[in-house]
Amino acid sequence: MKKTLLSISILVAVAVWAGGGFGHQAQAQQPSNQVTVLVFDRDSLNGSLVDTDLINSFLGLIFKLKEGQPFTFVAVDDPLGAIGPVETDSMEFSDFRRELDVMLAMSSGAERDLAAALAEIYNFLGGEFAGAQSSIYFITGSNEDLPTPVLQSGLDQMVSLLDQKGWPVHSVTLPGTAEAVVDTLSDISRNTGGESYSLSIPDGLQNFTDRILRMGAKGSLTELGSIELTPNTSLEMTMHIAPGTETANLIFFREDQVTAFRIRNPEGYEASAGDRTSSSITELPNVVMWEIIDPAPGKWQIDARGVDGVISGWHYATNKYSLMLQSFGAQPLGQPATLAAYVFEHGQPVVIEEEVELIARIISPDGTSVTYSLNDNGVLGDAVAGDAYFAATIPPQTTEGDYMVHLELSWSKLEHAITARDSFEIRAFPSLKVTPVEMNDLRSGERTKIATIFANINGNPIALLGEQISVDMATAVENHGEIEVVPGQIITEGKASNFDVFYTPAEETLSTIIVRLSMEYEGRLHSFATDSMVVSTLRTVGTVAPTPEPPPPPVVLPTPVPPQLPVFVPVEEPGIPVALVVVLAVVSVSILGAAAYWLTRSTPFGYLYGDRGQLVVDFSTLERRPVTNLVQRNVVNGTELGISGLEGAKFTFVSPNQVIMSSGPSSHATIRVNNQPLIGQMSIHDNTWVGAAGRLYSFSMAPPEGSTETEPAPATAD
């Protein structure tokens, strides 16, 4: 007597199906163009109870994992007698299930021609305007003791047609299926983009479940534990659920149906009572599916007990929280950039109330990776605290291309994290190359070309308007004079790539200039600033006119003295020699001048911060040796800072708003200022980036609000 698949009624008994039918029998309320066709080799499904249980478990899994999608049932020996399509959540699904039981219990006695059945299915799917995601599953258990269905004639043509439509054929085989049948079906599946599944417990069912979840973008299975049960053993499992989890799904694959489960939430209550969750259970012969709605976050405990046989526990979850990198378009090469991400729920940014950490691992085009911590506290690159946007300022990047970003949001009190992948692009943006022409010993009231400007993108010229370039000047006098930016050869529409800078000073003074570029580029406001340069209208310091040598004294001939007269020699009265008085006066003036110079020198000021905003050096409170502080009051050597890589640097505090950084010729360390190598000396100003020994620091004139001094915490390289 044939064994029917009536066990599928277990699934219907615990699941609620809603909706409508299709075709001449029923009409679905929301028809889908992704149709799943199940083709049964029913003459080969008259095996043992083990095989029947596997078929029932397979059908229950695919109905649950593709819930809401339409199914059509076809017998390979009677393809014209198809049932469906019907959606699993329709009210008529139970009626179709009973028709399926009847179909599987019968046999037409006709030839089992798979090519002919696939041809009818091809025409059927075309008539239903089935989408490219529709699929066909051929289920068989044909072995050496059973007649083998026709698998060769006309198959090549049908395989090609199905492949062109994007309708894959998946093969599902029971244990003991003939090897020749398995090989032929595997070739068909491979040539149509399908999969081959060999049903077994637990591996075969677990592999099928995981593939369906992945193809449906519902996640993937995570193992909870496996064991071979005996009457005296149990399987204890732990499941971590993150905040924002909408649905947690537990799936147990088992050999023995006599299995008991107990699930407790983080507070120790049973999942079915004393919790804000609701849950449903679907029991199949070899599968138990437990769905928990809106579970409490934390650590859940699962116990499984049974008589004997293998049991394997798995889970997957859907979370209402997702991570996304905020798009700012392409980021400029060689400039600090803002990296921002946000957590969103159903498409809208959401503020996370719990204590969380969001980190971003950036992988450059050359494979180098650096990890940054993003914050929503309104500091270190984040604009507004508590606005759901996490941000950080990253140092200038030196390589063009696409940068991969791995985001990870973790809860400090829970062993769980949400991850996402995204990317951003680093491109060369317009910049200015300024070449000094004449910046020293300028004359008041005289117009002089002091520099030339070359507008370029990565060395290639770009045409700009003169109004997009400005020159900022800082000086100690009220009237510093007039400065002009004059375009060279006009390229088009008043734009040029080369400019001359003319300066007409009004008074003799020292001035600091910075050339800036402000424009819209690639859909964003772009700005670029050069390093500061000093323009002098004073005489060069240290140039002393040579003192002319005094003429030789005239030769005075001695007056002859009469021999008869006595010679009187005047005797000087005791006193201080004139030469000594002169020497003492010169020394006193020198000492007073040196003292005045020492007392009027600028004292060190400003701060160095690490790449995460931590205070590293406070120049104003730097502990120094008394002799060093006296002799080099306005100079701080890098050896005094205790920072690796800056030993050969020197900071000279020229005035209350001017600092010069220099590097000695004997220094072997590589030091960069604003991504440029420090050769000789350069002026640094507020928010200047200083790189040394693979670490990045920022010089600031004043401390940010609420900053505290900590050890440096540079970006870490993987």
Q: Return the closest-CA partner of residue 613 out of 387, 441, 422, 377.
A: 377
Going by pLDDT thresholds of 50, 70 and 90, the confidence category of residue 430 is very high
Identify whether the C-beta of residue 5 lies closer than 8 Å to the C-beta of residue 106.
no
Written as one letter, the residue type at 239 is M
Tens digits of residue pLDDT in 671-684: 878 767 777 788 88
Establish whether domains 321-427 and 431-536 are of one fold.
Answer: yes
Angle between helices 155-165 and 179-191 (to 10 degrees): 40
- 129-133, 297-301, 327-331: least confidently modelled range: 327-331
Cβ(458)–Cβ(427) under 8 Å? no
Largest CA distance in the chain: 175
Q: How far apart are CA 709 and CA 705, in angstroms?
A: 12
How many beta carbons lie within 10 A of that of residue 95, not counting itself? 15
**Residues 507-519: what's their mean pLDDT?**
88
CB 61 within 8 A of CB 208: yes
* Per-residue pLDDT, 397: 87
Per-domain boundaries in the chain: 6-199, 222-319, 321-427, 431-536, 607-717
CATH 2.60.200: does it fit domain 607-717?
yes
Q: Which residue has the higher pLDDT, 705 or 377?
A: 377
Task: For domain 6-199, say whether CATH 1.20.58.740 is its number.
Answer: no
CB 433 within 8 A of CB 454: yes
* pLDDT band, residue 274 (cuts 50/70/90): very low
Distance between CA 499 and CA 452 in Å, rounded? 6
d(CA 321, CA 346): 8
- Kindly indicate the confidence band of residue 714, based on its pLDDT and cuts at 50, 70 and 90: very low
Element (H, E) at 94: helix 93-105
Are 122 and 72 in contact, with CB atoms under 8 Å apart? no
The residues that bridge with 321 in the sheet, in sequence order, are 345
For residue 369, is pLDDT > 50?
A: yes
| Percentage of residues in the chain having pLDDT higher than 70 | 80
Retrieve residue 559's tokens: 């007056």
Kindly write down the DSSP assignment for every residue of 179-217, as one continuous string. Answer: HHHHHHHHHHHHHTT--EEE--TTHHHHHHHHHHHHHTT
User: Do residues 532 and 685 lie in contact, with contact meaning Cβ atoms separated by under 8 Å?
Assistant: yes
Cα separation values, 348 from 242, 326, 342, 398, Å: 19, 13, 9, 34
When pLDDT is cut at 50, 70 and 90, the band that residue 272 belongs to is: low
Task: Output the six-digit token pair for 159.
Answer: 């395989």
Q: Give the number of other Cβ atoms within 10 Å of residue 564's Cβ.
A: 5
| Domain 431-536 grouped into CATH 3.30.559 | no
Band (pLDDT 50/70/90 cuts) for residue 503 is: very high
If one compares 149 and 3, the residue with the highest pLDDT of the two is 149
Q: Give the model's pLDDT for residue 600.
A: 61
Name the range with the highest mean pLDDT among 98-102, 547-551, 673-677.
98-102
Output the pLDDT for position 58: 92
List of residues 6+ apart from 261 with CB closer than 8 A: 252, 288, 290, 302, 303, 304
The answer to whether the peptide bond before residue 712 is cis (omega within 30 degrees of 0) is: no
CATH superfamily of 321-427: Immunoglobulins (2.60.40.10)
Highest average pLDDT, of 13-17, 493-497, 536-540, 542-546, comes from 493-497
Residue 21: closest CA among 74, 94, 100? 94
33 vs 579, which has greater pLDDT? 33
pLDDT of residue 569: 45
Q: What is the CATH number of domain 222-319?
A: 2.60.120.380
